[in-house]
Amino acid sequence: MKILERPLLKNKTNATGILLFIVLGVLPFAAAFIYALLYSFGLVGVISSGFTTEFWVSVIKTGSFFKSLGYSAAIAGIAVFLSVVIALWLTLKFKSALENKFILMMVYMPLAIPGLATAFFIIQLLAKGGFLSRISYASRLINESNEFPDLVNDNLALGIILAFLTMIIPFFMLLFLNVYKNERIEDLRILAYSLGATSRQVRNKVVLPILLKKTRVLIALYFIFLLGSYEVPLILGQESPQMISVLVIQELKQYDLDKIPEGYVVAVMYTIVVAIAAVFLFLPRKREQYV
Amino acid sequence: MTKLIQYLTLLFLALLSASCGSDTKRTTLDLENTDWETLVNSTSGKTVNFMMWQGSPVINEYINNYVVPTVKERYGINLQISGGQGPEIVQLVIGEKQAGIAQGQVDMVWINGETFFQLRKLDGLWGPFVDKLPNSKYINFEDPFISVDFQQPVNYMESPWSISQFALFTDTLQVANPPKNLEELERFVKENPGTFTISNDFTGMTLLKSFMAELGGSPKSLDGKFDQEKYDRLSAKLWDFINRNKKYFWKSGETFPKEQTKMKQLFASGELKIAYGYGEGGIEENVRSGLFPNTVKGYAWDNGTIKNSNYLGILQNAPQKAAAMQVINFLISPEAQLKKASPESMNANMVLDIDRLPEAYQKLYAKTKTRKYGPSMDDLKEHVIQEPAPEYMIKLYEDFRTAVIEK
């Protein structure tokens, strides 16, 4: 009897879990997506006047979505790439120092600062009227504030990338430190050395492949997270092109009420792109190493 | 498992249909048969939610430390403030209408003509109610700057709260002769590159409307109903002016500040040499708080700048309409308006006609301290433009993005 009850109980628990996940996670999202889809085709909305593809045509024609998506992807890609490289270097270079609780706490600290505050710090520090500009003026490096280089609301999105770096380098450092310990990379390193590998071989063939393969999903997820970030590009970005979330909100809040569905078009297109990326990301791999 | 899928499908469809509902139930207050006394006697203990722009410390101070405690003490009304302006209010109304919410989150809103236009389009405002307010007798509805909002008759659907004029300002220590027309502005930006910009918001678009009126040849060139042909002709000239000069703007015209608060910060930090705003420039509070040096002065634009009123409205689905009326009646009382007019408070012009006030208030008004730094509306009266139709603003927003920012 007991043998029969256990799988039944387990199945019930599983079914409840799945049901809860669907009700709380999938259903609201699916309803919101379909609502946005209907809105984008003029089928719902206070001033909608029936099915139309004009909003889709308009968004595709102006190309602002694709420009924004490319711009967002470039910024997120550069920020993630630089963060991973810097975090890897810092972790491997200072891993024994990072054992110290105080230093570890200092690494944790930036994670507690919200993106909005980071963006304001960057403005205070790097704007033409900011702290560094004033120091440069006081020390006669520049003659007026306009000579200070453009580091915020700038063409190259330097301010945004810098804010992202300060936010995610600590995260990746802690991640790499944990993987380093959990995967016993130190032992594997010693083993490789004892088998005659050079320092370069140990780094390139043992340490980096393990660290990167174990964290690749999180790195990719962080890329998606940065792709859709809002507060930092809102404060530090320029008016055109804009990162995708800023564009969506701008379209949704525009004064011309007849064009609000264009905001939903952008939101739907962005959701589809991210969903496709996520499917590729979580597709079962043929071969999983180091498991 | 099949049943589970069936239940989930039903739940999903229910959610979807609930979210798409657009039938708005309305509660109407029978004002015709209710006198003011009866109406306000029912408001004690009620909570009124007021959505307003909270971007100015002096306005917040006036509301939180004067209006909120006074309406609580006198009428027993709990006035709760929430942050939000034009687009947020419109989004709220759209969302609640779509969801068919009969009792909304917000009772009263602080709006201008553009939002008034949108809310009327959405049938989101309740009224007419202003003529029922006892203190409305102090307002001169013959004044077109009060009774016409962005070329739309107000028709007692919103109560005027403040009246002000747009003005430019500069630090006279740095710029002795600031530009007062487009020709001078062109010369100024070439001689002082990077020190002028246009904020991509209501304030910036208002400046563009003044520029457009100048390009039209007179302060009255945008008066009347929206004229597409006129807009196309004048906006083409405007974009040409901006595009040929934007390389001399802040950040070489490659980007523009998102809003006026950012522009004021840039002015305060010395990046910009000229800025502008409503409230005759809105510099008094900034000089008094030390953000701007006391050498900053506001000035008039030769062809004029926009003068308009801002208003208080009650939403169609406001749960506490009577209490909101009571609060608005207090806000347009001589006492509350006098307090608001003080340069040490909000420094806002009275929307009331001074000649209609009781003598005691007229004497008090005469004693009100005058501004030290900003010009008064009287100083600017020769340079005034009436707000053009809302379509001008809506089109300017869109075209400024496509014809200037994205170029």
Condensed to tens digits (0 to 9), the pLDDT of residues A170-226 reads 999 999 999 999 989 989 999 999 998 898 999 999 999 999 999 998 999 999 999
Helix ranges, B199-308 (H): 202-216, 228-245, 260-268, 284-288
Give the separation between CA A117 and CA A163, rounded to whole angstroms. Answer: 10
How big is chain A, counted in residues?
A: 291
Q: Please report the pLDDT score of residue A6 as a whole number.
A: 60
**Residue of B1, B2, B8, B192 best to disrupt the A interface, most CBs of A under 10 A:** B8
Residue B19 has pLDDT above 50, yes or no: no
Distance CA B185, CA B189 (A): 6
pLDDT single digits (tens) B302-354: 999 999 899 999 999 999 999 999 999 999 999 999 999 887 777 788 899 99
* C-alpha–C-alpha distance, residues A122 and A76, integer Å: 18
Nearest beta carbon to residue A253 from set B4, B11, B91: B91
The span from the CA of B352 to the CA of B364, in Å, is 14
CA atoms within 13 A on the CB side of A136: 18
Write out the H or E segment, with its range, that includes residue B78.
Answer: strand B78-83
Give the global pTM: 0.82
What is the helix (H) or strand (E) element at residue A225, kind and residue range?
A: helix A208-227
Which sign does the torsion angle of CA A60, A63, A68, A71 carry?
Answer: positive
CA distance A219 to A214: 10
Peptide bond into B179 cis (omega under 30): no
**Pairwise CB contact (< 8 Å): B271 & A15:** no
Judged against a pLDDT cut of 80, whether residue B15 lies above it is answered with: no
- pLDDT class of B31 with cuts at 50, 70, 90: low
The residues near B129 (Cβ < 8 Å, ≥ 6 apart) are B31, B156, B157, B159, B314, B321, B325
Which residue on chain B is closest to A237 by alpha carbon?
Answer: B255
- Which pLDDT score, from 0 to 100, does residue A5 have? 55
Q: Using an 8 Å Cβ cutoff, are B321 and B126 in contact?
A: yes
The verdict on a CB contact (< 8 Å) between B398 and A260 is: no
Identity (one letter) of the amino acid at B123?
A: D
Q: Is residue B27 scored above 50 in pLDDT?
A: no
| A39-48, B75-84, B125-134, B247-256: least confidently modelled range | A39-48
Q: How close A145 gets to chain B, by Cα (Å)?
A: 7
Interchain CB contact of B200 with A (< 8 Å): yes
Q: Which SS3 state, helix, strand or coil, does residue B159 take?
A: strand
Three-state DSSP at B296 gives strand
Query: In chain A, what residues touch B257 (CB-CB under 8 Å)?
Result: 153
> Cα angle vertex A228, ends A223, A234, to 5°?
120
CA B34 to the chain's CA centroid: 31
Identify the band that residue B23 occupies on the pLDDT scale cut at 50, 70 and 90.
very low
Task: Look at A31 and B397 and tell me if their CB atoms are within 8 Å.
Answer: no
Residues of chain A with pLDDT under 50: 1, 289-291
Q: Which residues of A touch B254 (CB under 8 A)?
A: 155, 238
CB distance from B11 to chain A under 8 Å?
Answer: yes
Contact A240 B8 (CB under 8 A): no
Q: What is the pLDDT of residue B93?
A: 93
Closest CA to B165 of B359, B349, B360, B306: B306
Decide: B327 and B48 in contact? Cβ < 8 Å.
yes
Q: Please tell me the predicted confidence (pLDDT) of residue B24.
A: 37
The per-residue pLDDT for B20 is 44
Nearest C-alpha neighbor of B84 from the set B49, B58, B117: B49
pLDDT for the residue numbered B85:
86
Q: Residue B204: pLDDT above 70? A: yes
Can you give the pLDDT at residue A136? Answer: 93
The pLDDT value given to residue A125: 93
CB contact under 8 A, B194 and A146: yes
Sign of the Cα pseudo-torsion (B265, B271, B277, B281, in order): positive
Contact B271 A253 (CB under 8 A): no
CA atoms of B12 and A23, how far apart (whole Å): 9
- Chain A residues with CB under 8 Å of a chain B CB are 15, 19, 22-23, 27-28, 30-31, 34-35, 38, 44-47, 62, 64, 127-130, 145-146, 150, 153-155, 234, 238-240, 252-257, 259-260
ipTM higher than the 0.85 cut: no
- Ramachandran category for residue B293: left, alpha or beta (phi over 0 → left; psi -120 to 50 → alpha): beta
**What value does the mean pLDDT take over residues B195-224?**
94
- Closest Cβ opposite residue B97 in set A46, A154, A259: A46
Distance CA B192, CA A104 (A): 49
* B2-11 own/partner pairs: CB under 8 Å, 24+ apart: B4/A15, B4/A19, B8/A22, B8/A23, B8/A27, B11/A23, B11/A27
Phi, psi of B276 (to 5 degrees): -160, 170
Mutant choice from A40, A46, A158 vs B, greatest count of B C-beta within 10 A: A46
Q: Mean pLDDT over all residues of chain B?
A: 88
Q: Dihedral angle at the C-alpha atoms of B392, B394, B397, B402, nearest 10 degrees?
A: -90
For residue B44, the distance in angstroms to the closest alpha carbon of chain A comes to: 34
Q: What is the pLDDT of residue B375?
A: 82
CA–CA distance, B118 with A5 (Å, rounded to integer): 63
pLDDT at B269: 86
Rounded to 5°, angle at Cα A258 from A254 and A262: 65
Residues of A in contact with B15 (CB under 8 A): 27-28, 31
Contact check, Cβ <8 Å, B269/A145: yes
Question: With an 8 Å Cβ cutoff, are A145 and B195 in contact?
Answer: no
CB contact under 8 A, B11 and A47: no
Among A75, A29, A50, A52, smallest CA distance to A265 is for A52
Tell me what the mean pLDDT of segment B272-282 comes to. Answer: 87
Q: What is the pLDDT of residue A62?
A: 87
pLDDT tens track for B34-78: 888 888 888 889 999 999 998 888 899 999 999 999 999 999 999
B4 neighbourhood in chain A, CB within 8 Å:
15, 19
At a CB cut-off of 8 Å and minimum separation 6, what does A152 contact? A122, A123, A126, A127, A130, A158, A159, A236
